Amino acid sequence: MNQATQFAQPSNADWISRSLRSVWHPCTQMQHHESVPLVPVSHGRGAWLYGADGGRYLDAISSWWVNLFGHANQRINAALKEQLDMLEHAMLAGFTHEPVITLSEKLSALAGGRLGHCFYASDGASATEIALKMSFHYWRNSGQADKQEFVCLRGSYHGETVGALGVTDVALFRDAYGPLLQRAHVVASPDARGARDGQSAADVADAAADELDALLRERAGRIAAVIVEPLVQCAAGMAMHDPQYLRRLRALCDRHGVHLIADEIAVGCGRTGSFFACEQAGIWPDFVCLSKGISGGYLPLSLVMTRDDIYQAFYDADVRRGFLHSHSYTGNPLACRAALATLQIFEEDKVLERNRVKAAAMREALQPIAEDPRVAHFRQQGMIWAFDAVIDDPQQAASFSRRFFTEGLRQELLLRPIGRTVYLMPPYILDEEEIHLLASRTRSVFDAVMGGR
Ligand SMILES: Cc1ncc(COP(=O)(O)O)c(C=O)c1O
């Protein structure tokens, strides 16, 4: 069937003006849309989003890092259609259902049985809140109610709700709400870009861990948990670190009696090369948060898994010792079914192995960019690639991201640099042609934005 007949094509201008009148768009200064138009999307197929005006865009950032196996994936669609006719939703307090049970069992198996008792919510920020509250409440239940403080890394991002912003170190998102927040201790990031001459990424990791050690020596009696984005601090501009940091972090948390929360909302589900990013350091956290890719990018789903002894500290006749947190859509069966279909694709298609081959092909295709003298810190972790544009003029630097985004759309790419950092975080289903198209168009967008060669 031809796309024009399958999908009614509304007028682009009509959608834009109606959206601007009726919708408050996220993470946006709405006035910017006076100069940068909204992009109405009519449908998606594979790695592509199709505009209502007939244009198309390769979704090279997986629609905010959520989409793993393409838009309108036939296998996830089929699983959801079947689930729709069985059960769309039932409350999870006092009730349970097959999708939530099977998903929890499978996730626990993926964590080697070390983490389990999945606690569900919808968005990533809610998972952050849950992990923070669980850690605090565990210590309270264990007679250590003084442990009320948290530690996060410089440049960390854990979501936009008030608790999550307290452990977020991105001034633009956080500062306006400063008076509302319980601020965390902020310690050095192990960002490998901080390496000085002769220093390795592992040296940077060790120096950052030493700073954390000093804080924990002084204040561990008041600190409940350290929260970290393992291997890649994505919102900080794809700041990557050596797994050595995670090993040191695990050892320090054990030594000082502090929980380790791994926020794998962006880096989990195979994005860094292993299903859980922490696996690459050979460690397990006390809490892991998952969201985004877990539902294949279909439905809002997040969850927190923890150790059995932490779960047991809540298990009691006294209701107040229980974890009474809830959300209306906790464990929604449709979202869990999408997650089960996603995990099935991982298994059946040997996705982690295949991604290694795709990642190598993409790395090769991006080599001309890596060698470009206008590029600094070309880096890769699994299915994430990033580089920083070298720009001297502060005005050019300030407008780089917006100019890159606009030129990207003109060249059929959806890319949203963070400041001067251009990153690619595509769905895992790119074929060879799409890999080459993405690499060559990224280069040509970069050339256009940097003023040609
Ligand atoms: C590491 C990390 N944690 C938490 C969040 C918040 O997730 P959500 O936007 O679904 O609330 C994000 C979102 O980008 C994230 O990257």
Contact 405, 442 (CB under 8 A): no
Q: Tell me the pLDDT of the chain averaged across its residues.
A: 96
CA of 387 to the centre of ligand 1 (A): 21
Strand pairing report for 223-228 and 149-153 = parallel
Q: How far is the CA of 258 from the centre of ligand 1 (A)?
A: 23
Residue 139 reports pLDDT greater than 70: yes
Q: Does residue 144 carry a pLDDT above 80?
A: yes
Q: What is the CA(160)–ligand 1 centre distance, in A?
A: 8
Percent of the chain with pLDDT over 70: 97
Has 274 been labeled as part of a binding site? no
Q: Which atom of ligand 1 is nearest to the CA of 123?
A: 10
Q: Which of 61, 62, 158 to mutate to test the pocket of ligand 1 (most atoms within 8 A of CB)?
A: 158
pLDDT at 2: 46
**CA triple 165-124-387, angle to 5 deg:** 80
Q: What is the pLDDT of residues 257-276, one digit of tens each?
A: 999 999 999 999 999 999 99
- CA 174 to ligand 1 centroid distance, Å: 14
Residue 328 assigned ligand-binding role: yes
Is residue 437 predicted with pLDDT exceeding 70?
A: yes
Please tell me the distance between residue 266's alpha carbon and the centre of ligand 1 in angstroms. Answer: 7
User: What are the chain's domains?
Assistant: 76-349 (3.40.640.10), 350-450 (3.90.1150.10)
pLDDT of residue 53: 87
CA of 302, closest atom in ligand 1: 10
* pLDDT digits 0-9 by tens, 170-216: 999 999 999 999 999 999 999 999 999 999 999 999 999 999 999 99
Ligand 1 within 6 A of CB of 407: no
Cα 77 to Cα 36: distance, rounded to the nearest angstrom: 33
- Give 345-360 as a DSSP string: HHHHTTHHHHHHHHHH
Assess whether the C-beta atom of 128 lies below 6 angstroms from ligand 1. yes
122 in contact with ligand 1, CB cutoff 6 A: no
pLDDT in tens, 48-87: 999 988 999 999 999 999 999 999 999 999 999 999 999 9
139 is in an annotated binding site: no
Note whether 323 and 132 are within 8 A (CB).
no
Using N-to-C axis directions, what is the helix angle for 432-450 and 351-365, rounded to 10°?
Answer: 40
Is the model's pLDDT at 135 over the cut of 80? yes
Parallel, antiparallel, or unpaired: how do β-strands 185-187 and 149-153 relate? Answer: parallel
Flag whether pLDDT at 6 surpasses 80: no
Query: Would you say 63 is a known binding-site residue?
Result: no
- Find out whether the beta carbon of 125 lies less than 6 Å from any atom of ligand 1: yes
Question: According to the annotation, is 326 in a ligand binding site?
Answer: yes
Least confident of 4-8, 307-311, 339-343: 4-8
CB distance 124 to ligand 1 below 6 Å: yes
- Would you say the CB of residue 434 lies under 6 angstroms from ligand 1? no
Q: How many residues does the chain have?
A: 453
Whether 271 lines ligand 1, by a CB cut-off of 6 Å, is no
Query: How much distance in Å is there from the Cα of 432 to the middle of ligand 1?
Result: 30
Half-sphere exposure of 62 (CA within 13 A, CB side): 26
CA of 418 to the centre of ligand 1 (A): 15
- Is pLDDT above 70 for 1? no
Q: Which amino acid is at 389?
A: A
Residue 313 Cα to ligand 1 middle (Å): 28
**Nearest by Cα to 49 from 293, 323, 409:** 409
pLDDT band of 9, cuts 50, 70, 90: low
Asked if pLDDT for residue 7 goes beyond 60, the answer is no
